[in-house]
Amino acid sequence: MNSSPGRAYLIPLDIVAAPALTLLIAYATLDPPVRVFTGPLWVAWALAVVTALPVAVRRRRPLPVLAVTGVGAVVATLLGTVGAGAIWVAYVPAALALYLVALTARPRRSVTALVACLLASGAAVAYLYSTMRPVPRPGAVPGEMLPAWPVEAGVIWAIMCGAWAAGVALHRRRATAVRLSRQALADERLHIARELHDIVGHSMSLIAVKATVANHIAATNPQEALSALAVIEHTSRAALTDIRRLLGVLRSDDGSPADLAPPPGPAQLHLLAEHTRAAGVPVDLEIRGTGELPEAVGLSVYRIVQEALTNVVKHAAPARCEVRVETGGGTVRIEVVDDGRGRRPAEPRGAGAHGLVGMRERVTMYGGTFSAGPRPEGGFRVSAHLPYESSGRTP
């Protein structure tokens, strides 16, 4: 990747850390616990610079920086410009770069980088100890024991694995956050689509029915035509109000509710039944004990009944319809029954009409049960049970 997801203010920290690591590596080389390097000082300083200074740009080029710092540390180990007991210091820059590789690269690439670092560092340390001739330093204790090479390699591997594991953990956490964000966005889109379907589908169905009636009887029965136009006007205004409410919520920048009318609920079912009667479908409505429903559940109840009545108007009219909504035992039960033709024609593909699917999704969202189908005696039946937690209001 060309840039690290790290924040910009962390880049100056890397710029400061790079020369500090250079000095630390040079010090560990020139004044180690056990000195093995007797060559020119500039070689030690050059390798320290090559190994540590690339850390300053590790957030912009993590993989190339890992390659440079890792190769520098391995070369320093092979040439002996490191001190026994402090070899791990030369691998700190590579560990910092490996952390960003694990954070930004694909899992396969980051695992490959980790394995390469472990194998190269382990082989270099083993080679150094096989050829090492310790140089006594002032103040050294006679018979001082050298650290075993597996111990040195184990310390380096622990640093490498720890840096890699930290990068992978943060990578997974960020990936999870992105996935949850995308899921939340998809759920919100589905919610908006469902709301628009219910609002527009119901309103347009009633408008289409009444417009057809008005068109056929305008010349012979002007009064009835005027009544149909009044229903069209009222229905279209109600639909516009619902759409403005939905758009107002979407345009709210801070996520706070817009200053709009509350969403519809069971209290508006009587008005919904009146609209359906005006469309030519007699409705017998019975509502019991819905005052304790939470607002979100009340909206789902309203939308389910609205969609069921819309289907009756579209597919079963002329027919009679019975609507029952009652609560009890933490469950709201909805039943919409008509005595029409019973079968519903297939909905046109691509038209966005997914009424039964939308009702089922609303019920499933609350862990309820839903069923819909023709009745043996004729007609169609929609039944839904939605569990809920009481809001504490008095019915």
pLDDT at 201: 65
pLDDT at 46: 82
Residue 160's φ and ψ, nearest 5 degrees, are: -65, -50
Model confidence at 294: pLDDT above 70: yes
DSSP SS3 for 294? coil
Kindly report which listed range (70-79, 81-90, 153-162, 329-338) carries the lowest average pLDDT score. 81-90
- The predicted-structure confidence for 126-141, as pLDDT tens digits, reads as follows 888 887 665 555 555 4
- Which residues, listed in sequence order, are joined to residue 335 by a DSSP beta bridge? 324, 383
Q: Say which residues have a Cβ less than 8 Å from residue 200's Cβ, sequence separation at least 6.
A: 239, 243
pLDDT at 1: 43
Instruction: Give the closest residue to 175 by CA, choosing from 52, 346, 5, 375.
Output: 5
pLDDT at 351: 40
Alpha helix stretches (DSSP H) within 218-321? 222-250, 269-278, 295-311
- Which residues, listed in sequence order, are joined to residue 317 by a DSSP beta bridge? none
pLDDT above 70 covers what percent of the chain? Answer: 73
pLDDT at 383: 93
pLDDT at 116: 93
pLDDT at 3: 46
State the amino acid at position 274 in one-letter form. Answer: E
pLDDT at 333: 93
pLDDT at 31: 59
- Average pLDDT score over residue span 260-278: 79
pLDDT at 347: 45
pTM above 0.85, yes or no: no
- Average pLDDT score over residue span 64-68: 91
User: What's the chain's length in residues?
Assistant: 395
- The predicted-structure confidence for 238-248, as pLDDT tens digits, reads as follows 777 777 766 66
pLDDT at 197: 67
Q: For all residues of the chain together, what is the average pLDDT?
A: 77
pLDDT tier for residue 337 given thresholds of 50, 70 and 90: very high
- Average pLDDT score over residue span 306-315: 82
Model confidence at 185: pLDDT above 50: yes
pLDDT tier for residue 20 given thresholds of 50, 70 and 90: confident
Instruction: Give the closest residue to 101 by CA, choosing from 171, 206, 36, 194.
Output: 171
The DSSP code sequence of 158-180 is: HHHHHHHHHHHHHHHHHHHHHHH
Model confidence at 29: pLDDT above 70: no
pLDDT at 257: 47
Q: Cα dist. 271→231, 262, 265, 327, 332 in Å?
A: 12, 15, 11, 20, 20
Q: What's CA 362's distance to the chain center, in Å?
A: 21
pLDDT at 370: 92
